[in-house]
């Protein structure tokens, strides 16, 4: 197997150049594929995954055994593992993508100009997308499905621990593409675990149009730093809830509890609670009890400690930390300006919420907080492609260009201009 082969850097360069060349050639064909063909490929891939369940489990067992021998941590092993339920979920995910409307070819804003021409926009694929992710086999199926539906060619590079699982899923995708008469190169799963392949992929500007890294902060920082191909990334989520002066206490408490405790390891989980000084007395003691019951460790500013004497003092580092754990930092602020300033300084541009009854301050928060999702009276946990109705997401962008927030099929496309005339010439 490739795992045990030694491949030289120049061979990797050659391999990746071929992958890129085949991808670019496939991009034209895939952009022209009909919705019917793409949906047929998705359905056939789902069917192939279900039919290959036994082989998938065996391939995954090889990956799991190798990972256990390397004593990899339990979170990684959990993400790596496939079981019958997860295989069914992968197939079901592909069927759901098939059911989403096809964004490609949609024409909008077609209108007449004084010159007599009609100008409009047509939604088109981005082209070739390189996706770099950790050892999560289900991402191979998800990413292939989303890229395919949006008419993009995908070059997938999953974590090396998932090598056998990913190659088996790639087989299923290729069966699906073949069933629909689509080119196998529309989805390529890189058949080497050599890290040099990533270095090549993120600098192949002629054959790759965008790179989407998915995984931990280290991976994403490394890819962003070294890539010359444009990157759509999700760096981290330091999300805030601000309980405003005059907020409804019940709603404030419900949102602050839900945003922290509904799930701890997700990027849209609240990491810092900001409380207007006027509300501290009515919410903090009650929240402390509720958080304690859930096992959440609290860290607070000095003013918070006056209300909650048992709470540990938050350090400067706390305000900049994505805990992804049952830990919450709390800060008392004088007013909305201080809250917005804190979010501007310490937030990560992901998701921030105000709990308020004041219309003017709700509007100010919406307008002035520069995050990919800004909310009024709702839990940060809603920042999600499914909750927003995108149907599925390939990730959440905390970048400023092209797409912000959950990235669904629309975020994987762009719009070109179309002009319709009847022999029109420019004067």
Site residues, a second copy (CB under 8 A):
28, 31-32, 105, 111, 113, 115, 117, 119, 122, 124, 126-127, 209-210, 225, 228, 230, 232, 248, 250-251, 254-255, 257-259, 262, 344, 355, 366-368, 370-379, 381-383, 387-389, 400-406, 414-426
Nearer to a second copy, 31 or 53 (CB): 31
**Which stretch of DSSP H or E encloses residue 12?**
helix 9-32
Element housing 158 (H / E): none
What does the DSSP 8-state code read for residue 101? P
Residue 310 or 416 with smaller CB distance to a second copy: 416
State the DSSP H helix or E strand holding residue 96, giving kind and residue range, or none if neither. Answer: helix 84-99
Residues 6+ apart with CB under 8 A from 107: 120, 121, 122, 123, 418
Report yes or no: 208 and 130 within 8 Å, Cβ to Cβ.
Answer: yes
Residue 367, number of CB atoms within 10 A of its CB: 10
Pick the closer one to a second copy by CB: 80 or 124.
124
For the CB of residue 35, give the shortest distance to a second copy in the complex, in Å.
12
CB of 86 to a second copy, least distance (A): 22
Residue 64 beta carbon to a second copy: minimum distance, rounded to whole angstroms: 32
Q: Between residues 11 and 221, which has the closer beta carbon with respect to a second copy?
A: 221
CB of 418 to a second copy, least distance (A): 5
| Least distance CB 300 / a second copy (angstroms) | 23
**Please, which residue, 68 or 363, has the CB nearer to a second copy?**
363
Read off φ and ψ for residue 128, nearest 5 degrees: -110, 125
Residue placing its CB nearer to a second copy in the complex, 293 or 419: 419
DSSP secondary structure string for all residues of 279-318 = HHHHHHHHHHHHHHHHT-EEEE-HHHHHH-TTSEEPPHHH
Using left for φ > 0, alpha for ψ between -120 and 50, and beta otherwise, residue 244 falls in beta
Q: Which is nearer to a second copy, 309 or 423 (CB)?
A: 423
Q: Can you tell me the distance from the alpha carbon of 176 to that of 46, in angstroms, rounded to the nearest whole number? A: 8
**Least distance to a second copy from the beta carbon of 289, Å?**
18
CB of 107 to a second copy, least distance (A): 9
Nearest approach in angstroms of CB 185 to a second copy is: 16
- At closest approach, how far in Å is the CB of 230 from a second copy? 5
Q: Which is nearer to a second copy, 55 or 418 (CB)?
A: 418
Whether 67 contacts 76, CB under 8 Å = yes
* Nearest distance from C-beta of residue 174 to a second copy, angstroms: 25
Residue 224 CA to residue 232 CA, distance in Å, equals 9
Nearer to a second copy, 189 or 340 (CB): 340
Q: Which is nearer to a second copy, 289 or 310 (CB)?
A: 289
Dihedral sign from CA coordinates of 324, 161, 140, 14: positive
* Helix H or strand E encompassing 59: helix 53-69
Looking up tokens 């049952």 gives 326
The answer to whether the CB of 279 falls within 8 A of the CB of 247 is yes
> How many Å apart are CA 358 and CA 336, to the nearest integer?
11
| Cα–Cα distance for residue pair 133/153, rounded to 1 Å | 16
Tokens representing residue 374 in the block: 């800004």
């Amino acid at each position: 197997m490739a795992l045990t082969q030694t491949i030289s850097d120049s061979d990797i360069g050659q391999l990746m150049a071929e992958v890129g060349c085949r991808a670019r050639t496939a991009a034209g064909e895939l952009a022209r594929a009909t919705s019917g063909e793409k949906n047929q490929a998705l359905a056939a891939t789902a069917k192939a995954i279900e039919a290959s369940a036994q082989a998938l489990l065996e391939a995954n067992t090889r990956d799991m055994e190798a990972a256990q021998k390397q004593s990899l941590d339990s979170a990684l092993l959990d993400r790596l593992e496939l079981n019958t339920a997860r295989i069914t979920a992968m197939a079901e995910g592909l069927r759901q993508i098939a059911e989403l409307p096809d964004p490609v070819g949609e024409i909008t804003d077609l209108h007449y100009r004084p010159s007599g021409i009609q100008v409009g926009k047509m939604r088109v694929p981005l082209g070739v997308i390189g996706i770099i992710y950790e050892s999560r086999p289900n991402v191979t199926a998800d990413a292939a499905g989303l890229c395919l539906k949006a008419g993009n060619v995908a070059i997938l590079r999953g974590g090396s621990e998932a090598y056998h699982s990913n190659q088996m899923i790639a087989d299923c995708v290729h069966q699906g593409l073949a069933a629909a008469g689509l080119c196998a190169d529309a989805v390529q799963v890189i058949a080497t675990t050599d890290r040099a392949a990533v270095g090549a992929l993120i600098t192949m500007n002629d054959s790759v149009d965008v790179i989407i890294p998915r995984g931990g902060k280290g991976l994403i920082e490394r890819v962003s730093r070294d890539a010359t191909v444009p990157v759509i990334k999700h760096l981290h989520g330091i999300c805030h809830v601000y309980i405003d002066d005059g907020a409804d206490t019940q709603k404030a408490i419900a949102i602050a509890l839900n945003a922290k405790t509904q799930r701890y390891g997700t990027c849209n989980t609240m990491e810092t609670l900001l409380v207007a000084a006027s509300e501290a007395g009515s919410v903090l003691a009650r929240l402390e009890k509720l958080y304690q019951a859930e096992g959440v460790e609290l860290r607070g500013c000095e003013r918070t400690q006056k209300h909650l004497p048992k709470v540990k003092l938050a350090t400067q580092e706390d305000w900049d930390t994505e805990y992804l754990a049952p830990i919450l930092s709390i800060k008392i602020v004088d007013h909305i300006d201080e809250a917005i300033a804190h979010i501007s300084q310490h937030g990560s541009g992901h998701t921030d919420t105000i709990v308020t009854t004041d219309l003017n301050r709700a509007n100010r928060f919406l307008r002035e907080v520069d995050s990919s999702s800004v909310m009024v009276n709702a839990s940060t946990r809603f920042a999600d492609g499914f909750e927003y109705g995108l149907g599925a997401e390939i990730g959440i962008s905390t970048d400023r260009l092209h797409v912000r927030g959950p990235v669904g099929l629309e975020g994987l496309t762009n719009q070109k201009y179309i002009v319709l005339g009847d022999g029109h010439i420019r004067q």
